Amino acid sequence: MYKKFDAKIDALLAKMSLHDKIGQLNQPCTPLPHQVEQFKEWIRKGEIGSILMAVGATAGNDPQGAIDVDFYNELQRIAVEESPAGIPMIFGRDVIHGHRTVFPIPLAMAASFDFDLVEQSYVDVAREAANETVHWTFTPMLDLSRDPRWGRIIEGPGEDPLVGACMAKAVVKGCQGEDVSHKDRMVACAKHYIGYGAAEGGRDYHRTEISNYSLYNYYLPAFRAAAEAGVGTYMSSFNEINGQPVTSSKFYLTDVLRGQLGFEGFVVSDYGCVEQLIKQGVTDDRGEASSMAIEAGLDMDMYDFCYIENLEEQVKNGRIPESVIDTAVRRVLRLKMAKGLFEDPYCKPEKFDRNVHLAHAREMAANSMVLLKNDGVLPLKKDMNIGLIGPFINERRSLLGSWTVDGKAEETPTLLEAMTEAVEGKGKIHANVGISLDKDFTFRMADRGDVVVLALGESWARTGENKAVSDITITEDQKSLFKKVKATGKKMVGVFFCGRPIAMEGIAEYFDAILYAWHSGSETTHAVCDVLFGDVVPSGRLPVTMPRLATHIPLYYNVTPSGRPCNCYYGENPGNCYVDSYPTPYYPFGYGLSYTKFVYNDIINCANPEVSLADLEAGKTFKLSIEVANAGDYDAKELVQLYIHDPVAKMMRPMRELKAFEKTFIKKGETALVEFELGYKDLGYYTAEGDYTVEPGKIEVFIGENCLTERMTEIVIK
């Protein structure tokens, strides 16, 4: 993809000293004020190839300064005009789900199952960030995660490989476009490669055990999709897999990533990963750690200065050949050339209409929200008297979510402000600001409303990097609050502003309706009002399982069957799993309600229920369809989901696998025909050696409204 630049790179490499080359592989953090002059000297010496535009390892949770475009242009000028090789630097920043305009956290965006909207969101994100010197963003995070205790689950696509692959393609295309050299585009970075989301117990940075079979079938598909979409960079993960740190693994970084996935860009370490090889116990020397990492295929060293301080000596003493350095530098230079930095290295900010981005953010947020429960309470009418209670009434910062470096909380409307605006001139909002356990006052606010809306959730500071929790629930004072309100006898609507799924047993039962609003960015509360008042019919669906209790984790839908009668997830003898609780999901993967009623007919197996394996390999497909009628009172979108189960294979296969979905708009009173095709790439699996195989035999196909649908037909591979 980038090899067209190799002739220019060869000429450049021939003129560069070994020191200059290694400098291209060094990415320090942006300097603090007292470090600026020293930093400029490093640039003049050719010792910096990239700048991480942040300070600290957990930039998503730590305050960061605003970007000074003139400052970064000046640093770039020094690199271009005063360094030995005159090579421009590439500036990278954690623009994860928004810049000035913040979009929903990625897990929420995945809940939309509308990846055209996701792509448009990242077009806007790239335009804003690139306008402030950002060339490169460290997104998408594609870590499949089955443990909501892990704080970084908010950054990823959830528990399903297909959703992860769709997210990968949408984000990469949105950020990079058809030509990443355009000034309003950024280079994307698929992270964290690989297995970071499988950390034991959800404890950040900890060890993982992932078999190659699971690696290829669950954890790699999203990263494979990123490579196919042309992602420019990957970031290596902190973790080890089966005792081997990814940072020093030639198998993961070269054999799999480059050999099997065909990736041609460069790999950057996560923050301080190279030096961490010492802590991980595979070496006790920074120089050896540097050699191990670059030999494995890790091209750029983020933050810890291991490469710039050690690789020159490692080459001179014969530990590694200079050709290894050349290979890494070549990859970095290819991307810099593809980004157009040699032709135009400086940022020239341009005006744009941010109101367009805010409108897109509002649409993305509304489409991401999941209606979990509705006993006829929603949508609300704007001429009602509404009691508004809870700690998230006047919250701003948490609505933006973690990993929000450049969004401004003060620009984010509160729920009280948004609801007051929505009912202006019609209804009345009676607000009890904060959590008041004064029973009389709470009752008085509730009594004034025809219905009570409780704004509940978790703080942004409780999510994100290094923010694992042992109990995925809301606080006890919030529980006490809704129990007191329940005693008033009023209808209760719970709006939950959360980053992760929470354990719903002992919570959901109290509410007449529940809207899971996530941390949905700059336009969170406007989008909430759009849904609550019926201006938007909810269409979000869960990309992760919502458990009853935290003690049931891990709980995910695409699990393999047990040989004993205890496949509890699907309701088969659920009492056989635990003697003290039922571990079925409170709300399953793919679940979500609408304000209208959709009626599914039987699956139509379109005249080809049997196809030979040879014909499948040659491109023939199974064609299936289903009629879905909108029998309710609202025009609305429905997510029609197709799952398969291979009941007999050489390896155990999941009881359900999402293989296709279609988000379809259906007007009230009308019926839509939703069509699917299943081909060779959909009906097989990867062996532990990484080989893709499709076996003859019967395949069960399920089409319906979530992963627990029982609507099934069979196809046969002959």
Position 198 in a domain: yes
Is residue 324 classed as helix, strand or coil in its secondary structure?
Answer: helix
pLDDT digits (tens, 9 = 90+) for 493-539: 999 999 999 999 999 999 999 999 999 999 999 999 999 999 999 99
Regarding whether 186 and 85 lie in a shared domain, the answer is: yes
Is residue 267 classed as helix, strand or coil in its secondary structure?
Answer: strand
Regarding whether 385 and 328 lie in a shared domain, the answer is: no
Residue 597 has what pLDDT?
98
Residue 439 has what pLDDT?
54
Position 507 in a domain: yes
Position 232 in a domain: yes
Q: How many helices (H) and strands (E) does the chain have?
A: 21, 26
Residue 435 has what pLDDT?
56
pLDDT at 260 over 70: yes
pLDDT at 438 over 70: no
Nearest to 50 by CA among 171, 173, 134, 175: 134
- Identify which has the larger pLDDT, 447 or 70: 70
The residue whose two tokens read 């399982």 is: 545
In which element (H, E) is residue 418 found? helix 415-422
Residue 135 has what pLDDT?
98
One-letter amino acid of 552: H
Regarding whether 141 and 281 lie in a shared domain, the answer is: yes
pLDDT at 607 over 80: no
Rounded to an integer, the average pLDDT of 564-577 is 81
The CA distances from residue 120 to 157, 169, 367, 444, in Å, are 17, 12, 13, 45
Given pLDDT bands bounded at 50, 70 and 90, which one contains residue 64?
confident
The most distant pair of C-alpha atoms in the chain lies apart, rounded to whole Å, by 80
Specify the range with the lowest mean pLDDT, choosing from 453-467, 595-609, 653-667.
595-609
pLDDT at 572 over 90: no
The DSSP result for 132-195, as a single string, is: TT--EE---B----S-TTSGGGGGS--S-HHHHHHHHHHHHHHHH-S-TTSTT--B-EEEEETT
Domain C-terminal end among 338, 366, 399: 338
Domain count along the chain: 3
Rounded to an integer, the average pLDDT of 217-229 is 98
pLDDT digits (tens, 9 = 90+) for 354-364: 999 999 999 99
pLDDT digits (tens, 9 = 90+) for 86-118: 999 999 999 999 999 999 999 999 999 999 999
561 within 8 A of 342, measured Cβ to Cβ? no
User: Which residue range is the domain that position 439 belongs to?
Assistant: 358-552
Residue 442 has what pLDDT?
61
Given pLDDT bands bounded at 50, 70 and 90, which one contains residue 179?
very high
Q: Where are the beta strands (DSSP E) in 420-522?
A: 428-433, 451-457, 491-497, 513-516
Q: Which residue out of 114, 147, 270, 646 is catalytically annotated?
A: 270
Q: Where are the beta strands (DSSP E) in 345-443?
A: 370-374, 385-390, 428-433
pLDDT at 55 over 90: no
Residue 285 has what pLDDT?
97
Given pLDDT bands bounded at 50, 70 and 90, which one contains residue 444?
low
Position 576 in a domain: no
Rounded CA gap, 333 and 328, in Å?
Answer: 9
Rounded CA gap, 416 and 652, in Å?
Answer: 51
CATH number at residue 9: 3.20.20.300
Position 133 in a domain: yes
Rounded to an integer, the average pLDDT of 309-324 is 98
Rounded CA gap, 193 and 226, in Å?
Answer: 11
Position 214 in a domain: yes
pLDDT at 216 over 70: yes
Whether 270 is catalytic:
yes
pLDDT at 441 over 70: no
Rounded to an integer, the average pLDDT of 201-215 is 96
pLDDT digits (tens, 9 = 90+) for 272-285: 999 999 999 999 99
Regarding whether 293 and 184 lie in a shared domain, the answer is: yes
Handedness of CA 615, 616, 619, 623 (dihedral sign): positive
**Which residues, listed in sequence order, are joined to residue 100 by a DSSP beta bridge?**
none
Domain C-terminal end among 552, 585, 615: 552
CATH number at residue 448: 3.40.50.1700
- Identify which has the larger pLDDT, 710 or 58: 710
Regarding whether 181 and 34 lie in a shared domain, the answer is: yes
Rounded to an integer, the average pLDDT of 8-30 is 97
Is residue 98 classed as helix, strand or coil in its secondary structure?
Answer: strand
Residue 411 has what pLDDT?
97
Regarding whether 216 and 112 lie in a shared domain, the answer is: yes
Rounded to an integer, the average pLDDT of 303-317 is 97
Regarding whether 392 and 309 lie in a shared domain, the answer is: no
CATH number at residue 604: 2.60.40.10
pTM above 0.95, yes or no: yes
pLDDT digits (tens, 9 = 90+) for 675-709: 999 999 999 999 999 999 999 999 999 999 999 99
Rounded to an integer, the average pLDDT of 561-569 is 84
Regarding whether 246 and 191 lie in a shared domain, the answer is: yes
Regarding whether 146 and 102 lie in a shared domain, the answer is: yes
- Identify which has the larger pLDDT, 15 or 577: 15
Rounded to an integer, the average pLDDT of 1-5 is 80
Regarding whether 331 and 276 lie in a shared domain, the answer is: yes
Regarding whether 707 and 602 lie in a shared domain, the answer is: yes
Domain C-terminal end among 500, 518, 552: 552
Share of the chain above pLDDT 70, in %: 98
Given pLDDT bands bounded at 50, 70 and 90, which one contains residue 2?
confident
Residue 436 has what pLDDT?
55
Residue 423 has what pLDDT?
96
Nearest to 93 by CA among 127, 60, 142: 60
Is residue 226 classed as helix, strand or coil in its secondary structure?
Answer: helix
Average pLDDT, the chain: 95
Regarding whether 607 and 496 lie in a shared domain, the answer is: no
